[in-house]
Chains A and B, each alone.
Chain A
């Protein structure tokens, strides 16, 4: 090509031709498989939201609670507001339908040996509850959170809790939720440093 200067069309053609032999080599099946992982991850949007909140300075928590565990409860305790079920594999399945009786839920979970703080709105932040530095991956290994519109289900795997960590289940007015969590049950889960004052052990 010996033009004194290339025209716009010639330049456009040159740019297009420079990459025409580039092809996507990843098969569609691999893309579809990856999309399933993305969809599964979206079922836990509040976990990510909780991380952001837990990373902040303060957590909304209830007043100090009993420091000893109550005697074990039946495998499944059913209440209107929430249900706690101990599963054969050691996991604890919690279904929350109404943000009521946080102390009762906390007591029940602690009786299962879970260091936990439960708070449903209102009380001032408890300085005893400090965020536990963690990653999304670690948080997801501890539990899965499936918020719906009328209830939230979480399945906790207690052995995966890092040493010195406890769980904080809370609802806080003004909580920063990810956009995809709008309209879902307003609850979040995060890790806190376990202590007698915060998580009961």
Chain B
């Protein structure tokens, strides 16, 4: 394994989980997110000489994964049925503690957000990108990023608060 491969292996080791979590929040399904991120990392590895010079290679991977997701849906949109967010939201709260690695209440609340807001939340909170990098990656203005973030947080606050109070009471 040459230096190039070693560098990529180190990058993969350091970034894979945060990339997966970011994409998971955007797409809402762990298996799909893992497939998309794996493919994006493979593309990064195939072009590692270029990607390694990118100011934020992890952001490159996430953007590639999200773009691949759009292509994936376009190819299969006539064959795949979207899960009903309402059904996801009604999952029992205990399921998170019984094997699933994600908190279903928060994931359900995230899935009820519009796709763009979800992407902004994922990039800002999980990948820890600042507003300008998030804007650049999504091809929107920083002001739009801030507006999406504010709306997303407001919606999440409203969505999660009653459940947390209920949890405290029980």
Interface residues of A (CB under 8 A from B): 1-2, 5-6, 8, 11-12, 14-26, 28, 30-32, 34-39, 42
Contact present for B45 and A31 (CB under 8 Å)? yes
In whole angstroms, what is the CA distance A25 to B16 when docked?
9
In the assembled complex, which residues on chain B have CB atoms less than 8 Å from the CB atom of A24? 16-17, 19-20, 34, 37-38
Asked if B21 is at the interface (CB within 8 A of a chain A CB), the reply is yes
Contact present for B12 and A11 (CB under 8 Å): no
A8 and B156 CA atoms in complex are apart in Å by 10
Most-contacted residue by chain B among A2, A11, A38 (CB, 10 A):
A11
Stretch among B72-80, B83-91, B135-143, B157-165 lining the A interface: B157-165
Q: Is B27 an interface residue (CB 8 A)?
A: no
Q: List 9 additional contacts besides A15-B125, A19-B24, A35-B43; criterion CB under 8 Å.
A: A16-B126, A22-B24, A23-B20, A24-B16, A24-B19, A24-B38, A31-B12, A32-B9, A34-B42
Closest beta carbon of chain B to A1's beta carbon, Å: 5
From A8, A22, A34, give the contact of B17 (CB < 8 A).
A22
> Is B17 a contact partner of A6 (Cβ separation < 8 A)?
no
Contacts of A35 in B (CB 8 A): 42-46, 48
On chain B, which size bracket covers the interface? 35 or more
Alpha-carbon gap, A34 to B47, bound state (A): 12
Query: Please, which residues of chain A bring their CB within 8 A of the CB of B129?
Result: none
Which residue among A8, A17, A31, A39 has the maximum number of chain B CB atoms within 10 Å of its CB?
Answer: A31
Determine whether the beta carbon of A32 is less than 8 Å from that of B45.
Answer: yes
In the assembled complex, the CB of A32 is this many whole angstroms from the nearest CB of chain B, namely 6
- Report if B98 contacts A (CB, 8 A): no
| Alpha-carbon gap, A34 to B156, bound state (A) | 38
B168, A32: Cβ atoms closer than 8 Å: no
A6 B164 Cβ-Cβ under 8 A: yes
CA distance A6 to B161 in the complex (A): 7
- Proximity bits, B103-135, A CB within 8 Å = 1, else 0: 100110010000000000100011000000000
Bound: A140/B168 CA distance, A: 61
Separation of A10 and B106 alpha carbons in the complex (Å): 13
Residues of A within 8 A of B168 (CB): 1-2
- Return the contact of B102 from the options A6, A18, A37 (Cβ within 8 A): A18
Q: Nearest 8 pairs between A and B by C-beta?
A: A35-B45, A18-B106, A34-B42, A24-B16, A18-B103, A35-B46, A38-B46, A21-B101
Q: How far is A30 from B8 in the complex, measured between Cα atoms in Å?
A: 13
Are A22 and B20 also in contact (CB < 8 A) when A15-B121, A16-B126 are? Answer: yes
In the complex, A145→B158 CA distance in Å?
57
Do B38 and A22 touch (CB < 8 A)? no
B125 to A16, Cβ gap below 8 A? yes
